[in-house]
Structure 1
Amino acid sequence: METFLAVARLGSIRAAAARLHVTEAAVSAAVGHIEKQLGVKLIARSGRGIALTEAGRVYAEYCRGILGMMKEAHAAVRQAEVGRLRIGVVATAGESVVLRPLASFRRRYPAVELSLSIHPRDVLFLELQHHETDLVIAGRPPHTANLVIQARRPSTLVVVGDSPDVDPTTTTWLLRGTGSGTREATLALLDRLQIDPPTLTLGSHGAVIAAAREGLGVTLIHNDAVGEHIESGALTVIDVAGTPLDRPWHAVTTPTPTPVTRLFLAHLIDPAETGTAAFHAAGP
């Protein structure tokens, strides 16, 4: 399954072989063996590479979930204090919310193997559903996802720019890339305000803040991310109808979090350990 997933993700027998440090013949044989067992074609030629058939796409989704659950099962039987914790965060949370609790957790449990990945919101929740991440800190998960909100932390979305005198109906609005929850909130706000200002899409959280500081436009952003810039006077909050928006952070897991994930959640909601960065346990 790991071999097939490598082929599916990379779209190439050669690239999968290089990633797995095996021969191309070995990769082809492995995929062919699975196809023979299933009685269907999983891949087909597409230009110079390969593409998944419809059966291949379905099988790849099951493979992701099965392999993710196997790794989660290995982690579940280890002692929490020496386990592995994979945390996924959106960029804003990665820079302004999770670092302090993560640092204090590492000091408290130095034997835990930590990893932190930063992706758009949609990617994070898909990885969590496939058990490829243990815990996600982002906005609210999709209603259709079988995920559990374990804790929340208050936050608001505010409109900021380099001057309080800009006209939000005509000035440029700075947007995050596709898949960003903040981008979706911005477009929804513009729609509610029934305005159609020019927009500029920037690839990263840091670029949006830098562009706003340089006067390239205004942006809707979490107050956690711009507190220091507002205090220094580099940015100012702009009064826009319908803002600030209540957008709390959520710590989200699958219904069966591993012991080390539960250990981190207990740390995350403990003000004695995380101070003002503490989350609040979610109610039933």
Structure 2
Amino acid sequence: METFLVVAGQSSVRRAAAQLHITEAAVSAAITYIEKQLGADLIAKSGRGIELTDAGHVYAEYCRTILGLMDEAKTAVQKAEKGRLRVGVVATAGESVVLALLASFRERYPDVDLSLSIHPRDELFLELRHHETDLVIAGRPPRGAGLVVRARRPSSLVVIGSPAHPMNPMTATWLLRGPGSGTRDTTLSLLDQLQISPPTLTLGAHGAVVAGAREGLGVTLTHNDAVERDLAGGLLEVLKVRGTPLDRPWHAITTKTPTPTAQLFVEHIVDEANVGRAAFVEG
């Protein structure tokens, strides 16, 4: 299964063999064996590489979940205080909300094997569903995804711009995050509600978008707690735009069967005595 997923990810037997440090013949033999066992073609030639068939896409989803569960099982049987915790966050939360929580958690539980990954919202939820990460902090998960919100933290989306470069939000350039970003989707929805079609500029990451707003490239929609220092220092200001601010709390999300260490982290972030104003509210 692992070999198949590498082939699927690389779209090439040759590149998969290089990554796995085995021969191309060994990779091809492994894929052929799986196909014979399943009685289905999983890959097909596409130009110089390969692509997954419909059956291959289905099988890849199962492989990710099975391997994720097998890996997760090792953590599930360990004591929470000595387990592993893989936290996934969207960029905005990673820069403004999570670091203080991780620092206090590590100080409190130094034996936990802690890791942090930053990805777009859609990718994070997919990884969580496949048990490839243990807990995600992001916006609300999609309905029907089988994920559970364990805690929430208030936050609002506001439109910001540079006071040194005054702009009319109805005609100014709007700075956008990359595809897969929940804030990007919300921004485009807001523009539709306002019935305006201003110029847009995609800068990708949260940090780049905020920096662009500071430099006067345009205006943008972002979480208020992500720009507190810039607002306090007068580098940015909140602009009055109909329909804003938008109530968009942060959510701490797990699968229906969280690991003991993930549960321990949730207990930590809702403990106001330990984390102060950064605390989430349980449930």
Aligned match of 1:49: 49
Distance 1:199 1:209 in 2: 14
Separation (CA, whole Å) in 2 of partners of 1:172 and 1:166? 9
Residue 222 of structure 1 aligns with an amino acid whose one-letter code is H
- Which runs of 5 or more structure 1 residues have no equivalent in the other structure? none
The one-letter code sitting in structure 2 at the alignment partner of 1:65 is T
TM-superposed deviation, 1:165: 4.3
Q: Structure 2: where are the runs of 5+ without partners?
A: none
The total of aligned residue pairs comes to: 282
Q: Name 1:77's counterpart in structure 2.
A: 77
Take 1:115 and 1:20, find their aligned partners in 2: how far apart are those partners? 23
Q: Distance in 2 between matches of 1:63 and 1:165?
A: 52
Paired position in structure 1 for 2:143: 143
Q: TM-score, normalised by structure 2?
A: 0.98
Q: In structure 2, the residue corresponding to 1:87 is in which secondary structure?
A: strand
Between the aligned partners of 2:204 and 2:105, the Cα distance in structure 1 is 30
2:241 alignment counterpart = 240
Distance 2:28 2:79 in 1: 39
Q: So what's the TM-score if we normalise by structure 1?
A: 0.97
Cα offset, 1:115, TM superposition: 1.0
Q: Give % identity.
A: 70
* 1:92 maps to amino acid: T
Within 5 Å, which residues of 2 pair with 1:1-20?
A: 1-20=1-20
Measure, in 2, the Cα distance between the counterparts of 1:29 and 1:165. Answer: 63
Q: Which amino acid aligns with 2:221?
A: L
- Structure 2 CA distance, aligned partners of 1:117 and 1:15? 24
Q: What does residue 230 of structure 2 align with? A: 229
Which 4+ runs in 1 deviate beyond 6 A?
none
> What CA deviation, in whole Å up to 9, does each residue of 1:159-216 have, x standing for no partner?
0001284211111111111110001111111111111111111121111011100111
The aligned runs of 1:64-213 (5 Å cut-off) are: 64-163=64-163, 165-213=166-214
Q: Once structures 1 and 2 are overlaid, which stretch shifts more, 21-30 or 193-202?
A: 21-30
What is the match of residue 61 of structure 2?
Answer: 61
SS, match of residue 14 in structure 1: helix
Cα deviation code 1:93-127 (max 9, x no counterpart) = 00000000101111111111111110000110011
1:21 is displaced (CA, Å) by 2.0
Map of 2:35 onto structure 1: 35
SS at match of 1:202: strand
- SS of corresponding position for 2:225: helix
The amino acid of 2:85's aligned partner reads L
The structural deviation recorded for 1:90 is 0.2
Superposed displacement of residue 12, structure 1: 1.1
Equivalents in 2 of 1:152, 1:110: separation in Å? 25
- 3-state SS of 2:204 partner: coil
Q: 2:278 is matched with which residue?
A: 277
Q: CA deviation at 1:28?
A: 1.1
